[in-house]
């Protein structure tokens, strides 16, 4: 078995952290944005880029998959809306069930992130 040097180990660990963060972050932030107002995919992708200051450039195909899964699970619903810029856009809105899930996720994540942020600032 090949022994990794320290730089390779750091890169591997950072890549894994980045992957894990994106994976968990995508669902929460998507629900957060859609809970504020109905959105279409490009809007969601751009908002995520803005929120993360460019750190999370979510792949559009992954976002489409996530949106379809959330819709299949009755967390989101979609409707087509005409656009003056070309093709119709598919807007997603949150269902009552989705809002309940979002609130539960919020109650779990926000206190944990807040507490972690305070601890990091103390160090």
User: Which sequence spans correspond to the domains of the chain?
Assistant: 6-122
Rounded to whole angstroms, the Cα distance separating 78 from 37 reads: 12
Rounded to 5°, angle at Cα 105 from 104 and 109: 125
Task: Give the CATH fold of the 6-122 domain.
Answer: Arc Repressor Mutant, subunit A (1.10.10)
pLDDT in tens, 67-119: 999 999 999 999 999 888 778 899 999 999 999 999 999 998 888 888 888 88
Q: Supply the angle between the helices 60-72 and 6-36 in degrees, to the nearest 10.
A: 50
Rounded to whole angstroms, the Cα distance separating 8 from 52 reads: 25
pLDDT in tens, 18-66: 888 777 788 899 999 999 999 999 999 999 999 888 888 888 898 999 9
99: tokens are: 């809002």
What pLDDT does residue 17 have? Answer: 83
Rounded to 5°, angle at Cα 74 from 99 and 47: 55
What pLDDT does residue 113 have? Answer: 81
Contact call for residues 55 and 48 (beta carbons, < 8 A): no
Query: Does 1 have pLDDT greater than 70?
Result: no
């Amino acid at each position: 078995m090949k022994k990794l040097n320290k730089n390779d180990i750091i890169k591997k660990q950072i890549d894994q952290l980045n992957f894990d963060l994106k994976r968990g972050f995508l669902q929460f932030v998507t629900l957060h944005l859609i809970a504020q107002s109905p959105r279409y995919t490009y809007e969601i992708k751009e908002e995520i880029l803005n929120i993360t200051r460019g750190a999370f450039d979510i792949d559009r195909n992954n976002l489409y998959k996530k949106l379809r899964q959330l819709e299949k699970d009755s967390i989101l619903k979609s409707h087509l809306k005409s656009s003056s810029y070309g093709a119709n856009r598919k807007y997603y809105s949150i269902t009552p069930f989705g809002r309940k899930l979002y609130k539960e996720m919020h109650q779990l994540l926000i206190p944990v992130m807040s507490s972690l942020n305070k601890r990091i600032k103390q160090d």
